[in-house]
Amino acid sequence: MSLKKLSLSLLATACLAGCEFIKMKNEQGNDSGNRVAIARVNTTYLYKDELDDILTPATSRQDSIERAETYINSWVRKQLLIQEAGKKININEAEVERKILDYRFSLIAYEYQSYYIKQNLDTAISASEIESYYTGNIDNFVLKQNIVQAVFIKVPKTAPRTNRIKELMFSDREKDQNELKSYCLSFSTAYHLSDSAWMVFDELVKNSPLAEIPNKIQFLKANRYYETSDDGYLYFLKVAKYRISDNVSPLEFVKDDIRNIILNKRKVELAKKLEDEVYNKAVREKEFEVFQ
Closest CA to 46 of 13, 87, 77: 77
Query: Under a CB-based contact definition with an 8 Å cutoff, are residues 96 and 82 in contact?
Result: no
pLDDT of residue 194: 85
Q: Which architecture, in CATH terms, is 143-243? A: Roll (3.10)
Q: Where are the domains of the chain?
A: 3-91, 94-141+250-292, 143-243
Q: What is the pTM of this model?
A: 0.67
**pLDDT score at 52:** 82
HEC string of 157-198?
A: CCCCCHHHHHHHHHCCCHHHHHHHHHHHHHHCCEEECCCCCC
Q: How far apart are CA 117 and CA 119, in angstroms?
A: 5
SS3 string of 117-159? Answer: HHHHCCCCCCHHHHHHHHHHCHHHCECCCCEEEEEEEEEECCC
The alpha-helical segments, DSSP class H, found in the chain are: 3-11, 61-88, 93-120, 127-136, 165-170, 174-187, 201-204, 216-222, 251-284
- Residue pLDDT tens, the chain, 292 long: 444 444 444 443 333 333 333 233 343 334 456 788 999 999 999 998 888 878 777 778 888 888 889 999 999 999 999 999 988 988 888 998 999 999 999 999 999 999 999 999 999 999 999 999 999 999 999 999 999 999 999 999 999 999 999 999 999 999 999 999 999 999 999 999 988 899 999 999 999 999 999 999 999 999 999 999 999 999 999 999 999 999 999 999 999 999 999 999 999 999 999 999 999 999 999 998 888 7
